[in-house]
Structure 1
Amino acid sequence: MSDRIQLSWLFFRTSGRVSRAAYFLGGLLVAIAQAFPLYRFTLVPEGTAESETWALLFMVAFLGSLWSNVALAIKRLHDLGKPGMMAFVLFVPVVSIVAFLVLCLFPGDPRPNRYGSRTNAPA
């Protein structure tokens, strides 16, 4: 599978499984992509055309990263043998922190499960 297809699958598809490391590193990349336009927005004077541009770029990054975080969480839950619908617990304040830690720390199923034959690959 080409790198472009692999990245598209990792961040935008919900089939398959991902490991703890792929989940954490993918989430970190998404957070950086979200933080950069926000950081740039804070550096420019308020109300200028440049601030409006950075605000728009932040909104685009935020909306794109929202789906990417859900897709990563669904695949991580699949690796644990759990249904992807549980990913929506990440939107519950306080519970989301515990859920994130569980997804980062608990090992996945080493054997094939109903969501895929191996980790870090589409089903």
Structure 2
Amino acid sequence: MLNGSQLVWFFFRMSGRVSRAAYFLGGLLIAILQAFPLYRFTLVAEGTPESEFWSMLFMAAFLVSLWSNIALAVKRLHDLGKPGLAAIVLFVPFVSIVAFLVLCLFPGQLGANRYGKQTNAPM
């Protein structure tokens, strides 16, 4: 069971390593949390206070999820033994899809590396 500080580390910190499964599931949760306000926005009439509320909530969710996706990608790259700066490729259209697949499919380094002693734990 995860506690609050582990969730903060998982979604917002850049140190440590995460496994393929944790990266994929974390990204899936972020996508669902981001999609819900967008879905609700599409159900209400345009220009109403309710549509403004859902659009602002979507924008806030997008900004938070952007940081979380970068943090997860950096930790996943660390698990592969690569520098976190390589997460920049996630902002390149089409390349980002390939990068996501690589991060989901390639196994990390076994044992300790320079980014942490074990996977799914802070440094």
| Runs of 4 or more above 2 Å deviation | none
Taking the TM superposition and a 5 Å limit, the aligned residue runs for 1:30-45 are 30-45=30-45
Taking the TM superposition and a 5 Å limit, the aligned residue runs for 1:1-123 are 3-123=3-123
Deviation at 1:2, TM superposition (A): 5.9
Gaps of 5+ in 1: none
2: CA distance between counterparts of 1:40 and 1:99? Answer: 30
Gaps of 5+ in 2: none
1: CA distance between counterparts of 2:111 and 2:81? Answer: 10
Q: TM-score under structure 2 normalisation?
A: 0.98
Deviation at 1:111, TM superposition (A): 1.3
2: CA distance between counterparts of 1:56 and 1:78? Answer: 33
1:99 match: secondary structure: helix
2: CA distance between counterparts of 1:102 and 1:2? Answer: 26
Q: Percent identity?
A: 76
Q: Which amino acid aligns with 1:91?
A: F
